[in-house]
Structure formats: C-alpha cells, structure tokens
C-alpha cells in the first residue's frame, strides 16, 4: 500500500526530473491520497477560483500546474533546484484560505503570508531538513513582491525581503508564476522582472542572468 511518505518521495523525483511534472501531478491528484492531510492542501487548489481577468486559465490548481512546468524549464538556473521546484508547487497553497468574492471581484489578499505558514506545515509532515523548508517558505512568502515593487504598491516590503530572501530566486519563481497562465506575454513579464531587479539593485550584476537564459 502506497504511503504518504512514498508519495512525497515520488513527488520529489518528478519535480526534479520531469520536463512536465504536471503530467504526474494531475494523475496522482485523482487518487484518494489527495483527500488526506497534508495532500488535501493541494487538492483544495482545485476548488479555489481566480479572477478571470488575471487568470483566464482557470482555478488555482490549473495555474499551479502551469507554473510547475514553467519552473521545470529553468530549475537549473536556481541555486537550489529542490527548494525552487517545491516552492513552485506550493507557492499558492494559501489561496484557498485567502480567496474571497468581494462585490463580484475574486481576491486572495495575503495568500503569500498564509501560504508560507501552510507550506512549512506541509513540508514538516515529510521532512526534517530545516534549511530546505526555510528556503521553500521564504520563496512562497515573497513571491508576490515583484508585483508590489514594480507597481509601487504599499504591500511592498523590500527591506525585509532583501534580508530574508535571495532576490534572484524570487525573480526566477516570479517569472514562472507570471508565465504560468493563459496567454502570458513573455516580453512583458520579462520586462517586469528586469524592472524588479533594477529596483533591487541586482540587474547590473551577474544575478540578472536569469533574464537571459529563460
């Protein structure tokens, strides 16, 4: 009988080795194991709707699968492939709890903060590698900062992000997040990432290589 820990190991293998990890995840998500904690946190993504304006591809699960496949293309640019790919899978795990319909507008405020906490709880069920868990949760926590910084929104917290996170890793995940949706404009999204890195003071050094190889 397949255990949750067996599934975790299989998930890890597919995240790090598959060209399209979504093929595996879409199949395994149909099993009864996805009804059990903590995999049900991923299963909940299927019922979390998104703004059709920003996410015409559909619910959070569909978006996440697109992001995971984008991440698989660039994982070798990351300084921690393991943490990067798990962050891609878990980056929106907070959306089911954060999503609300406000006067006909679907929002998910603070899903990054909620998601960081849930990602930690999820991974602690399977791993005692604190450094790995820390790297994943940091990426989940800060993945929305690109939008906030580029658009000069009050939710930006550059000082704390730069203290906690590798800005280039945030940028790499952010690009995958933006490309993991229907009809994404790569040129526009790369320009946003470049603007973000410039504001962070990294676009002039070797860290900006992320923009040149994806």
CATH number for 139:
1.10.3210
Whether the Cβ atoms of residue 211 and residue 173 lie closer than 8 Å to each other: no
Q: Please tell me the predicted confidence (pLDDT) of residue 203.
A: 56
* Residue 206 scores a pLDDT above 70: no
Model's pTM, two decimal places?
0.94
Mean pLDDT within 124-146: 98
Range of the domain at 156: 4-213
Provide the percentage of residues in the chain whose pLDDT is more than 90. 90
User: Number of structural domains, the chain?
Assistant: 1
> How many whole angstroms from its chain centre is CA 171?
11
- Phi/psi at 11 (5° precision): -60, -45
Q: How confident is the model at residue 90 (pLDDT cuts 50, 70, 90)?
A: very high
Q: Please tell me the predicted confidence (pLDDT) of residue 212.
A: 43
What value does the mean pLDDT of the chain take?
93
Mean pLDDT within 102-126: 96
Whether the Cβ atoms of residue 95 and residue 132 lie closer than 8 Å to each other: no
Q: Say how far apart CA 185 and CA 178 lie, in whole Å.
A: 9
Q: Please tell me the predicted confidence (pLDDT) of residue 29.
A: 97
* Residue 214 scores a pLDDT above 50: no
DSSP-assigned letter for residue 34: G
* Residue 79 scores a pLDDT above 70: yes
* Residue 108 scores a pLDDT above 50: yes
Whether the Cβ atoms of residue 93 and residue 41 lie closer than 8 Å to each other: yes
Mean pLDDT within 130-143: 98
Mean pLDDT within 70-84: 97
* Residue 14 scores a pLDDT above 90: yes
């Amino acid at each position: 009988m397949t255990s949750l820990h067996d599934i975790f190991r299989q998930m890890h293998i597919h995240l790090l080795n598959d060209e399209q990890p979504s093929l595996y995840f879409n199949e395994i998500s149909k099993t009864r194991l996805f009804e059990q904690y903590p995999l049900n946190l991923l299963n909940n993504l299927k019922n979390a709707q998104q703004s059709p304006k920003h996410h015409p591809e559909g619910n959070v699960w569909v978006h996440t699968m697109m992001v995971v496949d984008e991440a698989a293309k660039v994982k070798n640019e990351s300084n921690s492939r393991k943490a990067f790919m798990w962050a891609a899978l878990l980056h929106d795990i907070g959306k089911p709890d954060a999503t609300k319909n406000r006067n006909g507008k679907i929002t998910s405020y603070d899903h990054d903060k909620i998601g960081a906490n849930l990602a930690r709880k999820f991974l602690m069920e399977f791993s005692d590698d604190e450094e790995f868990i820390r790297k994943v949760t940091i990426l989940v926590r800060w993945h929305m900062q690109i939008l906030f910084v580029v658009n000069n929104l009050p939710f930006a917290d550059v000082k704390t992000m730069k203290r906690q996170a590798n800005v280039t890793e945030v940028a790499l995940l952010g690009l995958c997040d933006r490309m993991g949706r229907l009809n994404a404009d790569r040129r526009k999204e790369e320009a946003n990432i470049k603007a973000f890195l410039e504001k962070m003071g990294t676009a002039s050094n070797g860290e900006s290589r992320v923009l040149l190889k994806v």
